Structure formats: C-alpha cells, structure tokens
Chain A
Amino acid sequence: MSRVILDSRYFYQNVRVSLDDSALQNALRKACDEVLGKRAALVASTPHWEELRRAAHRIKEHTLARLDYYLLQLEKNLEAQGVRVHWAENAEEACTEILTIARKHNVWTAVKSKSMTSEEVGLNAFLEGRKIRPVETDLGEYIQQLSGEPPFHIVTPAMHRTRQDVGRIFAEKLGVDYTEDPEALTQIARRTLRRDFLSAEMGITGANFAVADPGLIGVVENEGNARLSTTAPRVHVVLMGIEKVIPTLEDLRVFLNLLSISSTAQRLPCYVNLIRSPRQEGDRDGPEEVHVVLLDNGRSRILADPAMRSSLYCIRCGACLNVCPVFQRVGGHAYGWVYQGPIGSVLTPLYRGLEYGYQLPFGSSLCGACAEICPVAIDVNHLLVELRARIQSGLNTSGLLERLAFRVWSFVASRPRLYRAGALLVRVAQSLALPRRRHLRLPVWSRTRTFPKLARRSFYRRWRQLADQLSP
C-alpha cells in the first residue's frame, strides 16, 4: 500500500492514498463524531456562546493591532518577576536560544509537554542532533514520538491510533508485553514517563496564552504532564508565538472556556497552569529558572498583511479540523506539515511559502463549517479563497489549460450574445452527437458522476412565453 508523504506538495496524492485507507476512514469518523457531539452539547448549554466568540475575536483584533505594546508589557512584567525573556526571529534562533540555555545547565534530557510551536521550529530533531534527548510527555504526543511520526492533529496527536496500534507500538518500542487495555497502556506510559520527569534537567512547554498584565504564561492540559514539566526540572523554557499574548486576566476568562469547549469538549481543562515566576523564597518546589522564548518566524510578516492578519487569531483548538469534511476523510498527515485541516491550509502557505503550500488552499469545498465553528470567529474559508487568488496570480501551478479555460469562460460570460450563441452551439452539438443519450461526458467529473445534457430550451428561450402567461 502506498503511504502518505509528509510534504504539503504531495497533498493531491495524499488525499487519494488516505481515501483508500478504510481503517483511517473509520478511526477518523468515530473520533470526529465523538468530539463534535460532545462539543455541540456543551455549546448548546453555554449561554452567550456567540457573544463569547465575538468578544474573543475583538480581543485578538485589539491585541494584534497593538502587538508591540503588549509584547513589551509582557516582557517587562515577566522580567520583573524573575523570568528571562528571549526574542527569536526565526526557527533557527529559537532552537539556538533553547540550546544555549540547555548547555548552560548541562541538560541531557528535556521533558516536553505538547507544543505545536516546537514542532513548527523542528526543536526535537535539533536537540537530538546535539545529544539532548527530548521526551514528549503528552500521551498522544508520546505515542507519536515512539512511532517516529509527527502529530496527526494539533490537539489529539494520535487521533488516528487504535488501542491495538498503541499496544503494538509500546510492545515494540518499550519492550513490554502486548496489551490493548487502555488502562494498562496508560499505566505503562506513566511508569516510563515518571522516570524521565524525575531525571530531566529541563522542561519545555508551549503557551496557550501569555497575559501581558500581570505578566504570566498560561498552559492548559488534561494529563498533568505540563504541570510536571513546569515544576519538576530545574529549568523551565516556554516557547511561544508572539501572537499568543492577550492583555489581561479578564480576557483569559473568555478564552479558557472557548478553548476547552472547542478543543476537547470540556467546560474547563483538568489543569490550568498559570506561571508567573521561577521558584520564590520559601516555595517547596518549582524551577530555579524560567525562560520565555518569543517566536516571530513569519508572524510579523502576516501581521503586516491585512487580508491575512486574522489567521493570527487562531488559538490552535483544532475544532475546524474535526468539523471539516475534508479533514474527516484525509486525516492530518495528508496536509504534510505541522498544522492540519482548514487552518493548516492557511498557515502552511503563509509560514512555509506559497510554493510549498500551494496545493492546500484548493483542497476545500469552501463549505465554511470551519468559520462557523471557530471559537475566535476566523473566516477560514474566506482566507482560503484569498490565498487561491494569490497562488493563481503569483505561481504557475494550475496549468495553462485551466487559466485559458477561465479566460475564455469570462470572455464569453461577460458578453450575453456570445454566451447565448455558445449555449446554442452546445445544444446543436449534443443533439447531433448524442441524440439518444441523457448525459454529457465531462472529463474527470464523469468518472464518478453523471452530468445532464443542456435542457432543450433554456430559461431565456422560455421567458417570452412565460411572461405572457404571467401578465394578466
């Protein structure tokens, strides 16, 4: 069986490969339906859901319009608490910055809690290449790391895995006896990860939010692994995109609800970690040092692009993936980079370049379910159309034939006489060539569907007679 290629330039091919994978189809359908069902029930019982979304949208709009101000405020307030803030312009700088901190503390093992931003900068491979062992501690993320695959979904990294898959991976990679009992599997992971939590010299996390005033980092989770990663090791490093900042704790309230309902269909996450400082005098635990790496990596470029700016509002909840009829069939790896689904189809071309992500924006029926479900009310489908226009005018990826077809179509469709003559021509042709057939045969379309012949008389031809009947 052919496999999905982890490269966005193979999206068209990956779609076909995924569609042939019936195990994947079933796993996806089940997983998406389950989380969507629970989410819908929660939304229905949340008063003012719509107002919350609008509020979140406005907060993001406001913050990003004054991003410089809020980032400096965040830096000042964090530094005042003893947190060290670093600025990284790109992936390489971010990785180097983290490496420098690790070297200073003789780090051999770094426990990580889920961070898509660390995936974005390729942190794991970077550290491994420098003899530092990154250990993913989110269960799904851990499963993926053991199997050598990137996350499949920004929130549920091992969404496509069955219990049997996990049992096989654990038996093979950890040398334990095969079991498919979820409880037993969780215990195995827990035992193995405990050792790493206790021996790791460094904890690395992302940030769901950074609150500028009073200066704190918010990390939400369900497994307690982030809590351990941020407290057990001597050093804690936060890697976050600069768009994650929000002004105040009041704003955090809006986002906590929206995020947990949208991502995992819970009122609130099991753990809300709010980190303000390293260990203080008299604290019984906590890291001696906390570092925050603020990552740009193309974000300021998107900020300066009015039509695309709203893509920075994304809080990485994954709801648009779950609801997307395309994602539900092709799965996360088909998209070929760190971010999947509708929002991934926007982010990949923006962060990696149009040449790399040019296939993704076309892989959408533009149904708008993503925009409808988005907790921050990003019009994801409109961003996709916007990107399509840029791809068509900036790259020659669609082929001369398609371009010519649209040019001819627009020439004809903007000239009523020509449009009528063209339709007449098709009518004559179909009655001569296919007098008995009911259907036309269109390239590609007709492989799986029929297409009707043109009606004997168009509405335009019928109108005069109809008008006479209608006017009393």
Chain B
Amino acid sequence: MEVWLFVPCLVDQFYPEVGEGMARILARLGCRVHYPPAQTCCGQPAFNTGYWEDARRVARHFLRVFADAPVVVAPSGSCVAMARVFSQRLFHGQPEQEAATALAQRVFEFSEFVVKRLGQDDLGARFEGKVAYHASCHLLRELGVSEEPLRLLRKVRGLELVEMNDAQACCGFGGTFAVKFPELSTAMALYKLEQAQKAGAEYVVMNDISCVLQLQGVIERRGLPLRALHLVHVLSGEGLA
C-alpha cells in the first residue's frame, strides 16, 4: 500500500523524530512511504482563531499537495481533524468543497491507520517505564479514536500502563487559547499532570504534538518528575536519548 506522509508543522520543526519514527514503522509494516516536500501546515491555527480567509489559503495549499494521495497518514489527531472534519466546514459552499470532501475520506491519524487499516497492534516495541495515556481531545472527540493507541501501548514490552483519573480531560493547549488565557491553560495542564503523578506515572503519552508541547513545557518549568512523549516516541524508540 502506498502511503503519503503528512508531517505537521510542529512535528516538522520541533519533533522531527516523531515523523521519522512514523515513517520507519509504516515502512516496516510494508507500506511504500512517500513524502511530498511541498507540504507545510493544515491551516488549523487560523481556522480555530476565526481567521477563515487565512485558513483557506493554507488549507487550499494542503489540498493541492495531497490531491493525488491514495492515503495520507499523520501523527497528530488535531491536524487530521482539520483535514477530515473542519476543512469541510471551511470550504462549505466554496469551489474547493468537493476536493476537501474527497480528501477527508483518505486522511488518517497514525494509530488509527495502523490498528484499523493495517490490522496491526504489536509493533515489537520495547519501552521501560510507567506510562499514563492522555486522550487528546481532537483525536478522541472529532475522530472517535480511543482504543487504538491503548492497544498499541499494551503490546509494548516492559511498559506498564497506569490509568490516570480524568484521562480524557483537556491538557489546556487549545491553540491560541494557550496564549489568550495563559493562566487558565496552565491550570488545566497542571491538573492533568497532577493526575498522572497520582497514578504513579513516569511518562504521559499522547498522540498530538501540541499536547506534548503544552505538557512538557509545564513539566520543565515546574521541574516535575514526569516526561511528556508522543506515542511514536514510545513505539519507535526515536528521540528518547
């Protein structure tokens, strides 16, 4: 199966190893991996903040780049939600409506693709430590992906999965919300991290790089004995040094 990678801007610039890990895993599972170099961003930041004209400019570019993709896979629930759900609203009644709807059917989040489409959950990974899973909001509520990441984590050797209270509560990132309401956003992150610590976790693992940025940012500032990781970090062993 041919798979086109979408490596969202935050992954591309801050956590490239997550893109790399994803590519390696997909290749190992027998996919022919292709990366269109003209890709940039999905347009979500502007969409969520209400600048829809600006969002359309970027989302249009996204549509062009992936127009011929048989399947697009990305390691981020919220960017996939943009391409699958929000772009349909953004282009509603616009010339790109048809293209947006067509592409929406072919975009998948990494864990969803691996478990549902490829039917794999044991990737032969090894990871030592106590892990609490944080259900990223867009992945969970816009895409309805809840079990897939957990199935992948349960098969990791050496990994002890601990359940934290309120695992499905938001981490407080929320795009521009994080800077429009910084105190509130941080309070939400702290609550989340407190739940992880109470559960005895050493790592909080999630499927969205923006949540990683948010939680790791608070962890470092507060010097908490935790680390926020992307699911791909755990599954691929990339970037853990």
Name A's B-contacting residues (CB within 8 A): 12, 15-16, 19, 325-326, 329-330, 362-369, 371-372, 382, 385-393, 402-403, 406-407, 409-411, 413-416, 419, 423, 439, 442-445, 447-452, 454-455, 457-463, 466-467, 470
Candidates B16, B46, B138, B213; contact of A410 at CB < 8 Å? B46
Which residues of chain A have C-beta atoms less than 8 A from B49's C-beta? 388, 392, 402, 406
Q: Are A459 and B182 touching (Cβ within 8 A)?
A: no
Q: A393-B50, A459-B12 are in contact. List 15 more A-B contacts (CB 8 A).
A: A15-B184, A365-B177, A365-B188, A366-B177, A367-B170, A369-B137, A388-B50, A410-B51, A413-B41, A413-B43, A414-B57, A449-B218, A450-B216, A455-B13, A467-B33
Q: Are B40 and A413 touching (Cβ within 8 A)?
A: yes
Q: Are A392 and B51 touching (Cβ within 8 A)?
A: yes
Interface footprint category on B: 35 or more
Name B's A-contacting residues (CB within 8 A): 7, 9, 11-17, 19-20, 23-24, 27, 33, 35, 37-41, 43, 45-55, 57-58, 60-61, 86, 89, 137-138, 140-142, 168-170, 172-189, 191, 213-214, 216-218, 220-221
Which residues of chain A have C-beta atoms less than 8 A from B27's C-beta? 470
Which residues of chain B have C-beta atoms less than 8 A from A363's C-beta? 177, 180-181, 184
Which residues of chain B have C-beta atoms less than 8 A from A457's C-beta? 16
Which residues of chain B have C-beta atoms less than 8 A from A442's C-beta? 179
Q: Are B221 and A365 touching (Cβ within 8 A)?
A: no
Which residues of chain B have C-beta atoms less than 8 A from A470's C-beta? 23-24, 27, 33
Q: Are A445 and B141 touching (Cβ within 8 A)?
A: no
Which residues of chain A have C-beta atoms less than 8 A from B138's C-beta? 368
Candidates A325, A386, A390, A455; contact of B170 at CB < 8 Å? A325
Candidates B11, B38, B141, B179; contact of A371 at CB < 8 Å? B141
Candidates A362, A451, A455; contact of B16 at CB < 8 Å? A455
Which residues of chain A have C-beta atoms less than 8 A from B60's C-beta? 414
* Bound-complex Cα distance A458 to B138 (A): 25
Which residues of chain A have C-beta atoms less than 8 A from B216's C-beta? 450, 452
Considering the complex, give the chain B residue whose CB is closest to the CB of A451: B217
* Bound-complex Cα distance A372 to B58 (A): 29
Q: Are A463 and B37 touching (Cβ within 8 A)?
A: yes
Q: Are B137 and A419 touching (Cβ within 8 A)?
A: no
Q: Are A445 and B12 touching (Cβ within 8 A)?
A: no
Q: Are A449 and B184 touching (Cβ within 8 A)?
A: no
Which residues of chain B have C-beta atoms less than 8 A from A449's C-beta? 186, 189, 214, 217-218, 220-221
Candidates A365, A390, A415, A416; contact of B174 at CB < 8 Å? A365
Candidates B13, B41, B46, B137; contact of A367 at CB < 8 Å? B137
Q: Are A364 and B177 touching (Cβ within 8 A)?
A: yes
Which residues of chain A have C-beta atoms less than 8 A from B218's C-beta? 448-449
Candidates B177, B191, B217; contact of A362 at CB < 8 Å? B177
Considering the complex, give the chain B residue whose CB is closest to the CB of A385: B48
Candidates B48, B178, B191; contact of A388 at CB < 8 Å? B48
Candidates B58, B170, B175, B179; contact of A444 at CB < 8 Å? B179
* Bound-complex Cα distance A386 to B92 (A): 12
Q: Are B179 and A367 touching (Cβ within 8 A)?
A: no
Output the least CB separation between A10 and chain B (Å). 14
Q: Are A410 and B178 touching (Cβ within 8 A)?
A: no
Which residues of chain A have C-beta atoms less than 8 A from B13's C-beta? 423, 454-455, 458
Q: Are B20 and A462 touching (Cβ within 8 A)?
A: yes
Q: A411-B57, A444-B179 are in contact. Are A455 and B14 (CB under 8 A)?
A: yes
Output the least CB separation between A229 and chain B (Å). 39
* Bound-complex Cα distance A451 to B47 (A): 23
Which residues of chain A have C-beta atoms less than 8 A from B11's C-beta? 459
Q: Are A409 and B184 touching (Cβ within 8 A)?
A: no
* Bound-complex Cα distance A287 to B211 (A): 58
* Bound-complex Cα distance A443 to B49 (A): 18
